[in-house]
Amino acid sequence: MANDPATTSPAKSTPLATPLATSLATPLATPLMPKATAVWLIDNTVLTFAQIAEFCALHPLEVQSIADGETVAGIAGVDPVRNRQITQEELDRCLKDPSARLQLLETALPVPQERVQGPRYTPLVKRVAKPDAILWCLKSYPDLADAQIIKLIGTTKTMINTIRTRSHWNMRNLQPRNPADLGLCTYSELQRAVEKAERNKKREREERARQEKAEAAKSLAAER
């Protein structure tokens, strides 16, 4: 994911310790799925790391590690213009001025909605796209639990397993597509699911580390 030095604009190498990068004292609205947005901005623009860090509410060093491929491996980028987080004109403005800040569209801020109990109706045109959305989730966020994918997309565990094992009848024609782009869920619902999966994964790692430490201490005590 790291940028090719030969094609990177000089603005990309702006020192991390710039006034822009350190002006995070004023809280600003941040885009949905900030890490996925940062991935897209790194891959598709020559915005400085400081600009991307401030817009996505990330530390500049974290943005640099994303660009170097050290973190968020496998996360698909999310285009903030396509999902109406910013306008193309706003992006162009900041591309021309490395000191400019990206401003999130007010209409991009999520509006709380009441969730109706019971199964969600999905139009046929969206139902046929569900396998693509499942494939995207499995490839982009492998830590998502099946139960989370079922809730997000409105699918079944059997369908998820056929795609995971590549035994789906139409597997060769499936294309990974973001379920939020397809209208199967909202970007905020997807973001919450990803964040929950990351928390669960972190707890699992911590629990495994504690168990390994306890086993090591037990073995050491037995040797004595």
pLDDT of residue 20: 44
> In this predicted model, what pLDDT tens digit does every residue of 6-35 receive, in sequence order?
444 434 444 444 444 333 333 456 787 888
Residues 133, 119 contacting (CB under 8 angstroms):
no
Residues 163, 135 contacting (CB under 8 angstroms):
yes
Q: Residue 134 above 70 pLDDT?
A: yes
Helices (H), the chain: 34-44, 49-56, 60-67, 88-96, 124-127, 130-140, 146-153, 157-164, 187-223
Query: Of 125, 131, 171, which Cα lies nearest the Cα of 153?
Result: 131
> In this predicted model, what pLDDT tens digit does every residue of 40-55 receive, in sequence order?
898 898 899 999 989 9
pLDDT of residue 133: 92
Residues 166, 173 contacting (CB under 8 angstroms):
no
pLDDT of residue 33: 81
pTM for the whole structure: 0.52
Q: Give the C-alpha separation, 216 to 224, whole Å.
A: 13
For residue 184, what are the contacts with CB-CB under 8 A and spacing of at least 6?
122, 126, 129, 130, 133, 152, 153, 154
> What tokens were used for 131?
């396998």
> In this predicted model, what pLDDT tens digit does every residue of 145-186 receive, in sequence order?
999 999 999 889 999 999 999 999 989 999 998 998 888 888
Residues 39, 66 contacting (CB under 8 angstroms):
yes
Q: Give the range among 11-15, 75-79, 106-110, 131-135 with minimum mean pLDDT.
A: 11-15
Could you state, in order of their start, the residue ranges of all structural domains in the chain?
A: 10-108, 124-223
